[in-house]
Amino acid sequence: MEPINEGPQTGQAIVTLEGVTKRFPGIIANDQIDLEISAGEVHVLLGENGAGKSTLIGMLSGLQQPDGGRILVDGVETAIRSPSHALSLGIGTVFQHNMLVPTLTVAENLALGGPWWQRPKIAELAARVAEIARPLGIEINLGARVSELSLGQQQQVEIVRALLRESRLLILDEATSMLTPQGIAELGALMRRLVERGLAVVFITHKLGEAADFGDRVSILKLGRKVGEIPPERLRKLERAALVDEIVDKMFGRQAGDDAVSIPPRAANDDVLLEVRDLSVPATADMPGLEAISFTIGKGEILGVAGIDGNGQKELAEALAGQRPAAGGSVRLGGQSLDDLEVGARRRKGLRYLTDDRLGEGTVGPFPVSINYFLKQIGEPPLWRSGIERSREIESRARSLTHLYDVRTPALSTPVGRLSGGNIQKVLIARELAEGAKAVIFNKPTYGLDLANTLATRQRIRDIAGEGLAVLLISTDLEELLSMCHRIVVISQGRLVGTVTNGPGAGEKVGRLMIGLAA
């Protein structure tokens, strides 16, 4: 295995994935993924947060094991047992977050992982690094402390480290996320030189432009499924603009198995129910703030919020629910101001928030299903009387909710964390739609659900709108929004950048707003 010295063997598959599936509690992270990673190609994996990119890399680098399907290395079915096993198979990974020790020198970092009973052979190392780095046009200062290097230089060190271990396949996870534009261009050139020398590169990104600029082959992931692949022949033929269009179409376009479009009819009385004016939330270190968010939702209306994940959707939902303090603006429900109310009071007024983080904050995993129905009503009659739990009332109410919302659970006392994602979602829906709901915020309600549950959840949302509730539907799945919303607003970097009335051509308009183009 001396890939650096071998001539290019373009087109030969190094790793092949066949129907690889990976499930986590409540979520299908990868659903029947087929992928072929060949020598001499930069294979771009494109997808939003939560599309399943990280899980896929986890399985390739030996951190996780697939639940279904098979992985072939050089045409032979192989279970990649551990990160060191992956390395011995020639699969090297450069993770999104730097894996170097900042207080050690470059040489010391490169020597890590050698046998512990030997002194690191620095001289030998220097010769090998020079041999690898020179043809790639990388300069490595072995004596420098890692903390003194720029992020781009650190990344180069990590790439060289992977090559030192004789990697034939190099996985770069969101490698450009912390680089300057110039650094990104340099990385692109470096990837080109690597594949020219016969390596395979898997480049993971959520940026369309990078996929178009650097890729020989682009595979598009969406909600755990592979929804499209653009092979090298086609990629070379297309103009950049046409290519971006095609990728947008694949990322946001219709897929087989998607739901039919069915927009619930509006009630005769469509007064404004939820009114938000100039809502703003200060930004924090890792979250965008919200700026001057204004919208209204009428009775029986479904207002969609579209946008790339992480543009303030969660902050918006939390600010409305009262879970995150707002810096300014007003929220009115049915003419009543909610501004000074806390989570519980807003809920009692009829504003409900169905979180996307079902296990993280939506439920208490080890607690029984029955208690999880009532997490937001603790202490309220008739389930509690003078603060004392009334088991029989809780039991019978939980039983009827389980029946009504078709929650499949072995028993009411089963810990909710043991249920599948679809059933946990039903528990949350049952909880939020409980008596008195007027406006409901759904945050990514079908994220990670299988098809049957996805369709059932969407129908449930249409039904409650049909009953006259106001619905705010936050989703990163444009198709979902188009299938049921009356209007769609687009959020980008904490601002609403446009409103589109649903109808023919709405999808393209929203899609263009989402990636920062004018509608």
Partner 1 sequence: MSQDAAPVRALDASAGQAGGREPLRRIVITLGPILVSLVLAGGVLLAVGVDPIAYYGFVLDRGLLSPLGLQQTLTRMAPLLFIAAGLIVAFRAGMWNLGGDGQFLLAAVTAAASAPLLVQTLPSWLALLVACLFSAFVAMIWSLVPALLRAYQGVNEIITTLMMSFLGVSFANVLVKLVFLDPATTVPQTRTLPVADRLPRLFETTVTSGLLFGLATIVIVHLVMTRTAFGLKLRIVGANPRAAIHAGLNVPLLTVAVFAISAGLIGLGAAVDIVGIQGNVRADWNPAYGFAIIPVVFLARMNGFAAIGFVFLLSVLWIGGESAARRLGVPQSFTLVLVAIVLITLALAEYLDHRFNQARRA
Instruction: Find the part of the chain contacting partner 1 (CB under 8 A) among 6-14, 191-199, 294-302, 381-389.
Output: 381-389
Binding mask 234-263 for partner 1 (x = CB under 8 A): ------------------------------
Q: How far is the CB of 416 from partner 1 (least distance, A)?
A: 9
Binding mask 300-339 for partner 1 (x = CB under 8 A): ----------------------xx----------------
Cα separation, 117 vs 96, in Å, equals 31
Residue 30 backbone zone (phi > 0: left; psi -120 to 50: alpha; other: beta): beta
Single-letter residue type at 351 = L
Query: Contact, 372 vs 434, CB < 8 A?
Result: no
Q: How far is the CB of 363 from partner 1 (least distance, A)?
A: 6
Cα separation, 487 vs 501, in Å, equals 4
N- to C-terminal Cα separation, the chain:
51
Rule CB under 8 A: choose which of 423, 425, 443, 457 binds partner 1.
423
How buried is 257 (Cβ within 10 angstroms: 0-12 exposed, 13-18 middle, 19+ buried)?
exposed
Query: Which of 254, 280, 310 is CA-nearest to residue 506?
Result: 254
Instruction: Find the part of the chain contacting partner 1 (CB under 8 A) among 32-40, 116-124, 325-333, 411-419.
Output: 411-419
Residue numbers 16-75 binding partner 1 by CB under 8 A: 23-26
Rule CB under 8 A: choose which of 113, 379, 436, 503 binds partner 1.
379
Under the binding rule (CB under 8 A), the answer on residue 460 touching partner 1 is: no
Rule CB under 8 A: choose which of 347, 352, 487, 509 binds partner 1.
347
Instruction: Find the part of the chain contacting partner 1 (CB under 8 A) among 106-114, 380-388, 439-447, 509-517.
Output: 380-388
Rule CB under 8 A: choose which of 128, 266, 418, 438 binds partner 1.
418
Under the binding rule (CB under 8 A), the answer on residue 287 touching partner 1 is: no
Cα separation, 93 vs 171, in Å, equals 5
Q: How far is the CB of 438 from partner 1 (least distance, A)?
A: 17
Under the binding rule (CB under 8 A), the answer on residue 382 touching partner 1 is: no
Under the binding rule (CB under 8 A), the answer on residue 408 touching partner 1 is: yes
Q: How far is the CB of 370 from partner 1 (least distance, A)?
A: 11
Choice between 99 and 451, CB closer to partner 1: 451
Choice between 257 and 360, CB closer to partner 1: 360
Single-letter residue type at 518 = A
In the DSSP assignment, the letter for residue 105 is: B
Cα separation, 255 vs 248, in Å, equals 13
Residue identified by tokens 């040489």 is 107
Choice between 57 and 351, CB closer to partner 1: 351
Under the binding rule (CB under 8 A), the answer on residue 375 touching partner 1 is: yes
Q: How far is the CB of 36 from partner 1 (least distance, A)?
A: 28
Cα separation, 283 vs 60, in Å, equals 36
Query: Contact, 481 vs 304, CB < 8 A?
Result: yes
Choice between 72 and 437, CB closer to partner 1: 437
Under the binding rule (CB under 8 A), the answer on residue 384 touching partner 1 is: yes
Choice between 323 and 493, CB closer to partner 1: 323
CA angle 287, 183, 3 (to 5 degrees): 115
Paired with 306 in beta bridges are 490
Query: Contact, 110 vs 100, CB < 8 A?
Result: no
Binding mask 353-372 for partner 1 (x = CB under 8 A): --x-x-xxxxxxxxxx--x-
Under the binding rule (CB under 8 A), the answer on residue 78 touching partner 1 is: no
Q: How far is the CB of 231 from partner 1 (least distance, A)?
A: 33
Site size toward partner 1 (CB under 8 A) is 46
Distances (CA, A) of 440 to 408, 462, 464: 24, 12, 9
Q: How far is the CB of 92 from partner 1 (least distance, A)?
A: 29
- Please give, one letter per residue, the 3-state secondary structure of 353-408: EECCCHHHHHCCCCCEHHHHHCHHHCCCCCCEECCEECHHHHHHHHHHHHHHCCCC
Cα separation, 133 vs 172, in Å, equals 17
Q: How far is the CB of 102 from partner 1 (least distance, A)?
A: 24
Choice between 188 and 282, CB closer to partner 1: 282
Cα separation, 188 vs 43, in Å, equals 12
Under the binding rule (CB under 8 A), the answer on residue 458 touching partner 1 is: no
Alpha helix segments (H runs only) across 267-385 = 313-321, 343-349, 369-373
Under the binding rule (CB under 8 A), the answer on residue 342 touching partner 1 is: yes
Choice between 266 and 376, CB closer to partner 1: 376
Cα separation, 302 vs 315, in Å, equals 19
Query: Contact, 468 vs 490, CB < 8 A?
Result: no
Choice between 156 and 423, CB closer to partner 1: 423
The residue ranges that bind partner 1 (CB under 8 A) are: 23-26, 322-323, 342-344, 347, 355, 357, 359-368, 371, 375-376, 378-379, 384, 387-389, 408, 411, 413-415, 417-423, 450, 452-453
